Structure 1
Amino acid sequence: MEEECMVDESGVKEMVPTPEKAAGDFSIVKRSKAWYMVALMSLCYGIGELSHFLVGTTSRAMSQDLEYGDQSCLRNSSIPEQLGGENTTCSDYLEQETCDNVLTNLTNGSSFCQWDYNGMGIEYQILAGPSFILAFSIGGLLIGALADRYNRVVILATSTIVFSACTVVMGTAQEVWQLIFLRFGVAFGESACQPVSASLVMSLFPQSLHGAALGLVNWGIYFGYGLSYVVGNYIPPLDILGQGWRWAYYLSGIPGFLFAALLLLTTSDPRSLAASKKDDALPLEAEQSSKKDTEIESKSICNTAWINLSYFLHPFVILLCLGACFRHTAGFSWAYNSQLYFDYYYPGTDVGIWLFSVSIVGGSSGILIGGAVSDRIVKRTGLHARAWVLAASQTIASPFAAGVLLLPPPYCFASLLIAYLFAEMWFGVLFAILIELVPASACSFVIAVFFFVMNNVGGNVPVIITPISKTMGYRETLLLFYPGFFLISAALFGIMGIALRKSNIGRKNSQSVVQKCES
């Protein structure tokens, strides 16, 4: 995309990408090629999210092998479940001595229950949340800044190779600290997916298609998240080559290398194509003049990190980020604890296919519908309509999210499907709002800062679920953090919609939020 910081005759630089420029960029890359790039970005994101959430679905197997985390009374997997009877629940036994003597007479001297590592505890919470978020946040800032200046396709492909390699190597870990260290690499690599993809979408598509294109990119989130339940539940029991859970990581990392190769070999950064066409059209004198203008422009305060950061500090962006923090905390609270929740309250339930299907159908449908609906509404009523879509979707999702925790299987999965269908409308719509509030020249950087704040809150707050659950109960704590935070985020998004409607942005378009800056 051409530089958005344009100089007019009065010497004023306008930091706003116009619809004509967006449409012009769209013509640089053919429509079919643009959607192909979006599909590849979605697949890369999906493999990254598979690696991200795989620790939650393999936590129990890893903790029992590497011996870390909390211990509790679990069902002995070597004893047929029917021998225990319908009323035997191992989690009811809170002491090791009583746990190891449950129905020993009925199982030839072996206890129906056993005291073992359950996959929970502070070590797991650190592995799942803070260790990932720390590197993810730092990587997002660095890569977001680089993506505004360098080839975005190369950056995304390289980052995909990084998190894929770290995922494969996680399968060789012998200590929990090695898992944490390698998870840093997974997080750092995956941190490129959202800012780089959003920036590329802005270059590839006109404003009217931002929501739909971002929805397809973010479909990878639900594909990877859902796939983590299949891989985590069904690959370790196969015990391939006697390595149990380790093959889940080997198989999860390999596809990323293929997708990275396809990115490098079959796609190009549209910004580079635009610059190349512009350079080819310039005579020597004009080219030299253009280079001088570029040097002057690069020194301009409009391109400094401070100016880019100022766009993040706009009240509308801050309010949007606050709502996103609560919504992200709710999502992570369930994502990091869903497998453990069913293992604890409904042991023996085959949740792999259920959670995979619900995540793919509900999550991906929700995000695609959210993007398409908001694109249509925004044409008629303005940008504030996207914020109202966010508020309405989270409000409707909240009671169904509560049903997930209050209903037994399989009814809880039906409730989860409906909750996902509405709750997951948020992600593509959220970033469609964000990229319309900031100029394209600062897009990747602002998204990276936005992600830094959102993920540090959303990814780290769920750590307190463990200590709180010991006071008020595991299910009760999840009710507070999952459907409860949906409602809080809905209220904040609603306020955002009202504020946008009362402003020029709500009545016109996102360009009015960006002020002109003196050269």
Structure 2
Amino acid sequence: MTESAVASGSRSATAGVAVLLLAYVFNFVDRQIISVLAMPIKTDLGLDDQQLGLMGGVAFAIFYTTTAIPIAWLADRKSRVNIIAVSITLWSLFTAACGTVQSFWQLFFARMGVGVGEAGGVAPSYALIADLFPRERRASAMALFSLGVPVGSALGVFFGGWIAGNLDWRAAFVIVGLAGLPVALLVKCTLKEPSRGRFDDSPATALDPAASPSVSEVTLRLRKTPAFWLLSLGAACASALSYGLMFWMPSFFARTYGLGIGSVSLYYGTVLLIGGVLGILAGGWIGDRLAKAHTGSFALVPAIGLALAIPTIAAALFAKAPMLSWLLFTFGQMLASAWFGPVTAGIQQIVPANMRAIASSVYLFILNLIGMGVGIYVLGFMSDWMTQEYETAALQFSILYGLAFYVLSVVAFLMAARLLSREKTYRCAKAEPQPVVPFDSQTH
């Protein structure tokens, strides 16, 4: 293969992951906008912190986790591009519907609908990226895709706060939701499906969607792969506090420092954007380089980052000035975000190509069930429970005790690091990559 052909394939793969990143950004804009709108929603609908936690996490997680595996089963057999495009359309429409609700339960069910749509966006994207990049570049590619988390969350906070401040929270949902529809069209019209398993030494049947195994067969395979469960548990515990922070930090800045919605949007939006982007990129870059010599680095890098994040975030919670709190939270966010690229790359390494969408959905099931379903609600519950003792500082202590999730995550990742070095990985060391052109105007 000529050098120019390889370079063309690399540029095409990067362009493909850029389109998926844009979709992921809108995924998290729609997912996290509710955090900065929590205070006006609470006032308008007369909710308490437990209800906010249910609506912000449990409602989303219920249908996200229950529909992700069936959708992933379909993605291992049909066009992943089409599934992603349809999913973007659904979550965008349900986000817009959140702006029309009149009660807690109407908002709860609208958020469930957002979860239904987003269930088809992430796992198929993971599998798609694994077929765009060879093993030695997957952690960096997954990290690039994972930038959708901090960028989308920050934009949700920025625009949600700005629109709510100038119009109202209902308009914020409607405008942000409808803005995602052109992205669905972009994915459908420009992204081309790459060959499955094109960089792997998997059997030839792995390249045939019709030969894809059932959910039970994949689950049986995963049962024999303890590193998968430890990676998933570590990511889930990390997400429990990370999602909890994403949802509750706007309220923390408002209650602790008396900031208005505009200032809250600026403070926490920049924490997510600066800390999240730097942490995810650094984690992916370091993970790729260390994993060349030691596969366990896919778990060791996240463990070190989270261990350092614990004291940093604890100090940020009790900083005397909002600027010092902002600096500490930004650094803590950077350390706590380093796991995204290495962990998702590690998941793709330990299963063959025809199992990746289902394996990713099982991973996301665990991550979101614990992360979104438990983390946001637990912090809200503890805040209400400790209000009598700590009064206005109840949310601070709730988040402080929530750092136990990071401790559990560190333990799980350290155990996974030992096992990963002994797992069989699916890669192709000798075959030359064929260029893929992810952009195509043809119908898929």
Shorter-chain TM range is: 0.7 to 0.9
In 2, Cα distance between the equivalents of 1:182 and 1:368? Answer: 33
| Contact kept in structure 2, 1:312 and 1:450, CA below 8 Å | no
Once the 2 structures are TM-superposed, how far is the Cα of residue 464 of structure 1 from its aligned partner? 2.8
Is 1:60 paired with 2:18? no
| Contact kept in structure 2, 1:366 and 1:422, CA below 8 Å | yes
The Cα RMSD (Å) is 2.5
The corresponding residue for 1:248 is 172
C-alpha deviations, 1:30-49, integer Å up to 9, x for none? Answer: 32222112111111111111
Alignment of 1:206-221 (within 5 A): 206-221=134-149
Once the 2 structures are TM-superposed, how far is the Cα of residue 459 of structure 1 from its aligned partner? 1.6
Question: Cα gap change, 1:294/1:188 in structure 2, threshold over 3 Å: closer, same or farther?
Answer: closer
The corresponding residue for 2:338 is 425
Question: Cα gap change, 1:428/1:273 in structure 2, threshold over 3 Å: closer, same or farther?
Answer: closer
The corresponding residue for 1:98 is none
The corresponding residue for 1:453 is 366
Is 1:344 paired with 2:259? no
Normalising by the residue count of structure 1, what TM-score does the alignment of the two structures yield? 0.74
Is 1:494 paired with 2:414? yes
Unaligned runs of 5+ in 1: 1-19, 21-25, 71-120, 275-289, 513-519
Alignment of 1:71-150 (within 5 A): 121-150=49-78
The corresponding residue for 2:243 is 332
| Contact kept in structure 1, 2:196 and 2:353, CA below 8 Å | no
In 2, Cα distance between the equivalents of 1:29 and 1:453? Answer: 37
C-alpha deviations, 1:10-54, integer Å up to 9, x for none? Answer: xxxxxxxxxx9xxxxx96983222211211111111111111111
Once the 2 structures are TM-superposed, how far is the Cα of residue 460 of structure 1 from its aligned partner? 2.2
In 1, Cα distance between the equivalents of 2:174 and 2:120? Answer: 22
In 2, Cα distance between the equivalents of 1:142 and 1:500? Answer: 27
The corresponding residue for 2:311 is 399
Question: Cα gap change, 1:255/1:390 in structure 2, threshold over 3 Å: closer, same or farther?
Answer: same
The corresponding residue for 1:100 is none
C-alpha deviations, 1:320-369, integer Å up to 9, x for none? Answer: 22212211111122112111112222223512112222211110121111
| Highest RCO, 1 vs 2 (Cα 8 Å, sep ≥ 6) | 2
Normalising by the residue count of structure 2, what TM-score does the alignment of the two structures yield? 0.86
1:391 counterpart letter in structure 2 = A
The corresponding residue for 2:11 is 32
Is the partner of 2:122 in helix, strand or coil? helix
Once the 2 structures are TM-superposed, how far is the Cα of residue 168 of structure 1 from its aligned partner? 1.5
C-alpha deviations, 1:78-131, integer Å up to 9, x for none? Answer: xxxxxxxxxxxxxxxxxxxxxxxxxxxxxxxxxxxxxxxxxxx22211110111
The corresponding residue for 1:107 is none
Question: Which stretch shifts more, 145-154 or 348-357?
Answer: 348-357
In 1, Cα distance between the equivalents of 2:6 and 2:363? Answer: 30
| Contact kept in structure 2, 1:45 and 1:190, CA below 8 Å | no
Question: Cα gap change, 1:294/1:136 in structure 2, threshold over 3 Å: closer, same or farther?
Answer: closer
In 1, Cα distance between the equivalents of 2:138 and 2:197? Answer: 20
Runs of 4+ in 1 over 6 A off after TM superposition: 26-29
| Contact kept in structure 2, 1:131 and 1:180, CA below 8 Å | yes
| Contact kept in structure 2, 1:211 and 1:432, CA below 8 Å | yes
1:346 counterpart letter in structure 2 = Y
In 2, Cα distance between the equivalents of 1:219 and 1:266? Answer: 21
The corresponding residue for 1:94 is none
Count of equivalent residues: 406
| Contact kept in structure 2, 1:151 and 1:272, CA below 8 Å | no
Q: Which has the higher Rg, Structure 1 or Structure 2? A: 1
Is 1:157 paired with 2:85? yes
